[in-house]
Every structure is written in structure tokens, then in C-alpha cells.
Amino acid sequence: MPLDRLVLLPRPREVRPLPGPPVGQDAQPEDVVVGGLPREGFELRVGDDRVVIGAGDDNGRRYGHALLAQVRAQSTGGIEPMLVRDWPDFPIRSYLLDISRDRVPTMEYLDRLIELLALCRYNELQLYTEHTFAYASHRRVWSDASPMTAGETRALDARCAAAGIELAANQNTLGHMGRWLRHSAYRGQAEHPGGFEVVAGVTLPPETLAPTADNAAFVLSLLDELLPNFSSRRVNLNMDEAFGFGEGVSRAHAEAMGKGPLYLDYLRRIAGPLVADGRTVLIWADMLAHHADVIPELPAGIVPVVWTYEAPGSLAGFELPRRVLEILTRLGIDFDDRGFATKVAPFVESQTPFWVAGGTSSWNSLTGRISNALANLADAAAVGLTEGAGASS
């Protein structure tokens, strides 16, 4: 097939023809080491009766072979001479799947997902978890949730590794803990055991853990059980959207030291032992962004992930009802379409390493807002990311 008619996914940054006749359809590729390519980069060279895949690491070779398979599938009567070169813009390309919104995937589904992620050259997978891991001592929390078991997680970890994908651990440890706190045995751990009144007439059930030493120890006990099932040394503690933080059980401490320092203190209690054990800790950046004065104090080994759902300019002409805007503001949820440039600013100014994440909001739709996610990632690339930044969607 002529090169201009090949459909290659992802689209390589360079595809150009070489002189000479087609190479046999079943020609076996030769693997060679090529220096100077960026990490996970590869080149595929077809010509002179040879097929050569050059790379400097395992994933580069894996991507080269996968691309060759796509070329073979679309070629008849031989493979046209060509040079294909490609490498990623983001060193970490992470896909986060929410498994805590009543749709815990089967292992068969996850196996298919891994195939698709490998095809698209993702190199990390996270399963966002609130209550859907089968912790041995907390059956009442997950008994009706068809949770991921330890054995399933280890099997998934091995399957990911075989596909060149790192399965990173994920467990929320502050906000979005309503599936735990709805049970009487855990309600006393809530920041607002009786519920959080957002505005007059709107009260949320207990959602946020109180930032106490006891709760930090509780979370660490969960992680002690969860983390051995992962070969990755990366863990996402989330700690986002902690509604009512510093306004309930911890009000006195928040008034004495400030909400930002209180959040940082709780984060250190949990992340400190993990970092000391050689792990990298991810957290969502929204809570820090509301208390930017503590960002420079963030300990090494903790990486904020800056997120947004709306593509730049996508809300032009759209206005939220006043009551809804009042509720979102009270909850600390930013609903804007300014893109990543403003959201990453405090982290850039403090020279804090960070990731970016564009979301599809697919928990609210059948197909997801893919156009927004793609625009978000393009926007993230445009603002200039710190080294080690990544994207998850």
C-alpha cells in the first residue's frame, strides 16, 4: 500500500519513502540498538530486502514491532520501502480508569484495555479506587461492590508488565470516602460525621476523612495491604476535593495553623513513610492550588497532578445557574475553561515538579468528552511542562 494511505496509530512523527522494490511480506525483522533516540523511541527501516527495527530500550522495540504489524496488515504484495521514526512527547503516559462509580471491570475487560493501551503506547495504568479493593478487615465496605482482589491485582500487574505498562497503585485517602463513612463503624472518622452543609438547604453526607493522626495511621494500614500487590513504586493517594476540610472535627486546628498547613501536615503523615520507603507519591493538585503558600514546602517525592475537564474556550457563552455556581464555589470546584496555563502557574513559579491530567468526564456520558481531553493535552503541551510531567485521561 502507498505510504500516504497507511493508517498508523499513533501517527508517527516521521514517515518517508525509501528507494527500491518492496520487501517480502513475511520478512523477519532484525532488532538493532540505536543510540541517540529519545527514551522509548524507535525507527523502522524497510529496504534492501531487510526490515530493521532500531531502538534503545524494551518499549521502543515493542512499539517498533507493533507498528510493523500495522504496516503488514495493510500491505499486499510486499512492504514498501520506508523509514518510520517516532518517540513520545510525554515520558509518562498514564491512563486512569475510575472503578469506584459502580462499574468495576471484569478481568476480561481489563485484559482488552491493556491491549488497547499498549497499541496507543500508554506506559502506565491506574485504577482509581475508593472502596473497590477487597481489604481483608473491611468486608462491610466492599461486600456489594465486586471489588478487585489481591490475586486479581497481582495478575493484572503481571499482564501490564508484559505489555510494557506500569500498573501504579491508587487509593483515595482523604476526600471521596463516602462509601466508607456511610457505615456506622467508620462514620466517627469523618470530618463531618453528621454531614456537611454546603449552602442553606444543601447538605452532603460524610465524604471527607478528618485529617487526624489516627486516620493517617488507618490509611497507612490500608496501603500496607494494597501496595505489595504492585511491582510499581508509584502510588496515587488522590487527596482531592476534600469537601468541608478544616471546617468540622479539625476546625480548631485549621483556625490555629491554617487549612493549607493542616492539609500539608496530614499529607506528610501518610506520604512521609512511603517516600522514605523509596516510593513516588502522586496527589491531585486542587487542594494545594487553593493554598498555594504551602506548595514550596511540599516534600521531595510528592508529585502534584494538575487536572482540568474543560477544553480551553469550550465554555464560551455558557453560564451556570447562580445557585449551582454558589455550590461549586463553596466546594472549591473550579469550573472554567482557561486551560492548564493558569492552573500550573503556582507549581511553575515554585519550581515544583508536576504532572497534568486531562479528563474525559466519561462517568457522565456514554462516549466521554474525548474532544475536550485531546484539547486539554494539547494545551498542556503548549504551556511547557516540567521534566517528568505526564498525562492521564
Q: 104-118, 191-205, 209-223, 351-365: which has the minimum mean pLDDT?
A: 351-365
Contact 22, 92 (CB under 8 A): no
**Helix (H, G, I), strand (E, B), or coil: what is residue 318?**
coil
> Among candidates 215, 230, 347, which has minimal Cα distance to 277?
230
Chain segment 255-267, per-residue pLDDT in tens? 999 999 999 999 9
How, if at all, do strands 82-86 and 30-33 pair?
unpaired
- Distances in whole angstroms, Cα of residue 377 to Cα of each of 5, 60, 87, 381, 382: 27, 22, 17, 6, 9
> Among candidates 290, 190, 174, which has minimal Cα distance to 238?
174
Contact 249, 280 (CB under 8 A): no
Q: 88-97, 255-264, 384-393: which has the minimum mean pLDDT?
A: 384-393
Contact 42, 58 (CB under 8 A): no
Note the pTM of the prediction, 2 decimals. 0.91
| Span 89-111, average pLDDT | 93
Distance in angstroms (rounded) separating the CA atoms of residues 20 and 257: 73
- Distances in whole angstroms, Cα of residue 271 to Cα of each of 187, 251, 268, 304: 24, 23, 5, 12
Fold designation for 92-392: TIM Barrel (3.20.20)
Chain segment 8-56, per-residue pLDDT in tens? 999 999 999 999 999 999 999 999 999 999 999 999 999 999 999 999 9
Distance in angstroms (rounded) separating the CA atoms of residues 238 and 168: 12
pLDDT at 393: 32
pLDDT at 2: 76
> Among candidates 221, 162, 156, which has minimal Cα distance to 186?
221
- What region does 238 belong to: left with phi over 0, alpha with psi -120 to 50, or beta? left
With cell 527514551, the residue in question is 39
Please write down the HEC assignment for all residues of 58-75: HHHHHHHHHHHHHHHHCC
Distance in angstroms (rounded) separating the CA atoms of residues 284 and 278: 20
Contact 63, 361 (CB under 8 A): no
Q: What are phi and psi of 340, to 5 degrees?
A: -80, -20
* Strand-pair partners of 236: 170, 282
How far from each other are the two terminal CA atoms of the chain, in whole angstroms? 34
CATH superfamily of 3-86: Chitobiase/beta-hexosaminidase domain 2-like (3.30.379.10)
Between residues 317 and 164, which one has the greater pLDDT?
A: 164
Distance in angstroms (rounded) separating the CA atoms of residues 302 and 236: 10
Q: Order of strands, edge to edge, in the sheet holding 42-47?
A: 14-17, 82-86, 42-47, 50-55, 30-33
- Which residues, including other chains, have CB under 8 Å from residue 16's CB and lie 6 or more apart? 3, 82, 83
Output helix, strand, coil percentages for the chain, rounded to the nearest 5.
35, 20, 45
With cell 492550588, the residue in question is 289
Q: Give the residue extent of every domain in the chain.
A: 3-86, 92-392
| Span 169-175, average pLDDT | 98
**Residue 304's pLDDT band (boundaries 50, 70, 90)?**
very high
pLDDT at 103: 81
